[in-house]
């Protein structure tokens, strides 16, 4: 879905690139700047640091590009920027219930469960840098989408496997309470990526790839020793310890669990320094049981149908969340199965 009213050209005004620090945000911006180079101030952070537009100064004539952060979570600073005279191009696939038209806003948005921001940018660029869209889709756990894009490029199975691993590693690096938890800051990782038009060349030549791969394997070894906090017929909940490795691996663990058991839903809770928990949810049935609907019941919760989360779940609400997870996915799955049975019997 594209909503726009002839946004003004950027010209020579001051520019800001605002992007999620995960694989999708990195690859979306990388594609865009390969096709449309410009100098810009980077505004980014860890994956859950989504209230990014408030860091952009409200000044007339500035040019702001936003990628892979929820419009709903940034609508107030977005309105202030536009009212101040900024021009904004917004690419995203998260919740946008509060979207609106404005003469200086260009919105490229699609919340379909098989779409991520890298795919939206790929469409806008006519597939010009599609290998990076493949990486972004793999990083966002959209394997079917990534493989469909890769097939159109004629990539070999080995090349696809390399791009899948790169997407997972870029996404893994974004999880943490602060940038200090990460192996590389999202901005420095983006600037390193941006030296390579071909992701396979980045894999072969950049020491950053080896650093991320080694860290990933070490953290995953720790995660594999964990037992579920609670299981139910529809899935399971994991609660991780208060350790940097646990915060780094939390999203990757959620994606891995969802990939290995596609008929189950999962929640992974990692403890924050203040005692609250960062929650990652993956839904096995995003159309019938959207993950964001469950997460939006809790303060700071949101996301998309297939993958959502809660930024800071209070410790006192952990068991409440676990019960809500179990009830939500069990009942909604049973209802969907029941309706399917009725349809099939007719």
pLDDT means per 10 residues, the chain with 346 residues, are 45 87 98 97 94 96 97 96 98 93 97 96 98 97 96 96 97 93 97 98 97 96 94 95 91 91 96 92 94 95 92 96 96 60 34
Q: Pinpoint the residues of the chain covered by CATH 3.90.1640.
A: 2-216
Q: Give the model's pLDDT for residue 251.
A: 86
Percent helix, strand and coil across the chain, each to the nearest 5: 45, 15, 35
* pLDDT at position 107: 97
What's the pLDDT score for residue 261? Answer: 95
Across-strand partners of 42? 17
Delimiting residues of CATH 3.10.310.30 domain(s) in the chain:
230-344
Task: For tokens 């469960």, name the residue.
Answer: 113
Task: Locate 211 and state its tokens.
Answer: 């650093």
Tokens of 203: 């894999």
The confidence score (pLDDT) of residue 172 equals: 95
Q: What is the pLDDT of residue 331?
A: 84
Q: Which two tokens stand for residue 126?
A: 């006519």
Could you please state the CATH topology (level 3) that the domain comprising 2-216 is classified under: inorganic pyrophosphatase (n-terminal core) (3.90.1640)
Choose the CATH number for 230-344 among 1.20.140.10, 3.30.420.40, 3.10.310.30, 2.40.110.10.
3.10.310.30
Q: Where are the alpha helices (DSSP H) in the chain?
A: 23-35, 75-84, 117-124, 130-139, 143-153, 157-172, 186-193, 199-205, 207-223, 244-260, 291-295, 318-345
Q: Environment class of residue 171 by beta-carbon count within 10 Å: exposed (0-12), middle (13-18) or buried (19+)?
A: buried
The pLDDT, as a whole number, for residue 95 is 83
What's residue 28's pLDDT? 98
């Amino acid at each position: 879905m594209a909503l726009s009213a002839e946004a003004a050209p950027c010209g020579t005004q001051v520019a800001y690139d605002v992007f999620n620090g995960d694989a999708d945000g990195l690859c979306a911006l990388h594609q865009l700047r390969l096709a449309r180079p410009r100098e810009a101030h980077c505004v980014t952070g860890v994956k859950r640091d989504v209230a990014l537009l408030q860091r952009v100064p409200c000044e007339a004539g500035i040019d702001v590009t936003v990628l892979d952060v929820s419009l709903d979570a940034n609508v107030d600073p977005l309105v202030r920027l536009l009212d101040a005279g900024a021009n904004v191009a917004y690419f995203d696939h998260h919740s946008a219930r509060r979207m609106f038209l404005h003469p200086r806003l260009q919105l490229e948005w699609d919340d379909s469960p098989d779409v991520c921001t890298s795919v939206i940018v790929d469409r806008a660029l006519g597939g010009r840098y599609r290998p990076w869209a493949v990486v972004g889709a793999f990083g966002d756990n959209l394997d079917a989408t990534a493989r469909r894009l890769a097939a159109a490029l004629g990539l070999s199975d080995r090349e696809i496997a390399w791009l899948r691993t790169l997407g997972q590693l870029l996404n893994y690096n974004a999880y943490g309470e602060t940038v200090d938890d990460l192996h590389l800051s999202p901005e420095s990782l983006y600037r390193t990526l941006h030296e390579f038009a071909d992701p396979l060349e980045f894999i072969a030549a950049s020491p950053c790839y080896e650093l991320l791969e080694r860290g990933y394997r070490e953290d995953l070894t720790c995660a594999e020793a964990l037992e579920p906090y609670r299981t139910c017929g529809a899935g399971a909940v994991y609660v991780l310890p208060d350790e940097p490795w646990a915060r780094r691996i939390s999203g990757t663990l959620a994606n891995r669990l969802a990939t290995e058991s596609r008929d189950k839903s999962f929640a992974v809770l990692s403890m924050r320094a203040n005692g609250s928990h960062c929650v990652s949810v993956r839904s096995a049935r995003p159309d019938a049981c959207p993950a964001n609907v469950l997460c939006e019941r809790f303060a700071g919760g949101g996301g998309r149908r297939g993958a959502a989360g809660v930024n800071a779940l209070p410790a006192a609400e952990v068991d409440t969340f676990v019960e809500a997870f179990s009830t939500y996915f069990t009942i909604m799955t049973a209802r969907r199965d029941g309706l399917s049975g009725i349809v099939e019997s007719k």
